[in-house]
Amino acid sequence: MDKSHATLVLEKRRDILQPHLVQVSPNVWVSVAEDVSNVAMIRGRDGLVLVDSGMIPDRAAAILAAFRNIAPLDRYPVRAIIYTHGHGDHTGGSPVFCAEAEKPEIWARDTFGAETFPFERAGLMPLFKARGGRQGGFALPPEKRICNGVSPVRYPKAGGAIFSGRTGAVLPDRFFKGDSMPLNIAGLELLLLATPSETPDALSVWFPGERVLFCGDALYRSFPNVYPIRGTGNRDIPAWCSSLKLLHALGADALVPGHTEPFFGREHVQEVLDNYRTALQHVYDKTIEGMNAGKTPDELVRDVKLPAHLAGLDYLEEVYGNVSWTVRNIFNSLVGWFDGNPLHLSESFSPKEEALRMAALVGGEEKLLEKGREALVQGDATWAARLADHLLALRPEHGEYRRLKADALDVLAENMLTATGRNYAFSVAQELRNGITAQSRAE
């Protein structure tokens, strides 16, 4: 079978996401794709400041060894680690960098963990881990898990728990409040900036001496991940756009994201920041416009697209974030679940009740199965999956019904560009074939 366009794009991404060290400026280096997230080193007069720490201990050790070839321990101990936000892929490698000698200062905003820790307080970590594991594709074989869009394939022991900033991390002991704070350490003059974006606790680091800007996950080479399908609270697009505008105003010569390659050249950096903000603002504005016109979420995702001149940019491809998921998140975050159809205010049929009526309508379960198989053969995997859902509502353990859904999901996944959605679909298909229900997996 020929590879889909989505597969070819993600394979190209995978080939780019190979571990390497990039010198950004005279005293700044960044380790790209060695770990799930980038780790940056700023060399000061008598020590190092790191921006983020990666996630996996043996990867962090490899990064530290590479840094030590440039900045030996006897002259440049690690004086501080700055977390751009609380996700575990940016914090989990910290014990390696803290183990050399005296523990460095660990800096973060005072809202550190504001996105992920509520899941723990609500008792939702089993759901969070299960959905996170599917999104990451941690149970998939290598041939089905090409990359994660903005990061290489890794198989962390923590699995779906990596999205909690507490997983294996040395927690921050220094915090800053407000919009900004100067930080003078190791002879370096840095500025910490509050830049809420992918997470509400996000910060950026500005190194004016060499005009290098570290933006964490406020920007990377993909359309932004406004709604991760593992689940999250609202990601505030107006705040995110304001943060990008603030970063644009700095006039950086180099931009170091939390994932993927740095951007170089003041004019190019300005263009990237402006286009990224414009893309987010466009999706937000068009969604609001459609909502005011009375459109439902299902209608909006058909209508709201990036303009062609933005959609064609490599750093706005939907390999990690997804425009349609963003549209749904905007709708739900502003007006909630009600889509405006009064039918949905009434007590609805359960999935099983609706499936019984659908089966009766077409002439029984066998006919429904036949129609599902026909749809799959004809290339309509979405409809095949929908019919399979009706069948599974009637008999969730039925082998043929599970196989139909799994086969349909495999087709949908193969043609899905957004890596996390692709991983999720392949993972559920694998679970169906293995006889693992979604409920038992979550437990």
Please give the residue that has the higher pLDDT: either 23 or 440: 23
Please give the residue that has the higher pLDDT: either 156 or 169: 169
Give the mean pLDDT of the chain.
93
* Nearest to 118, CA basis, from 70, 75, 166, 65: 166
Proportion of the chain in helix, strand, coil states, percent, rounded to 5: 45, 15, 40
424 has a pLDDT exceeding 70: yes
Please tell me the predicted confidence (pLDDT) of residue 199. 94
Tens of pLDDT, residues 317-329: 999 999 999 999 9
Tell me which of 163-167, 204-208, 233-237 is least confident: 163-167
Q: What average pLDDT does the segment 305-322 reach?
A: 97
Written as six digits, the tokens of 40 are: 């940056």
Sign (positive or negative) of CA dihedral 108, 18, 310, 268: positive
Q: What average pLDDT does the segment 199-210 reach?
A: 97
Percent above pLDDT 90 for the chain: 87
Tens of pLDDT, residues 48-101: 999 999 999 999 999 999 999 999 999 999 999 999 999 999 999 999 999 987
Q: Where are the alpha helices (DSSP H) in 293-364?
A: 297-303, 308-311, 323-335, 351-362
pTM for this one?
0.93
Q: Which residues contact 69 (CB under 8 A, 6 or more apart)?
A: none
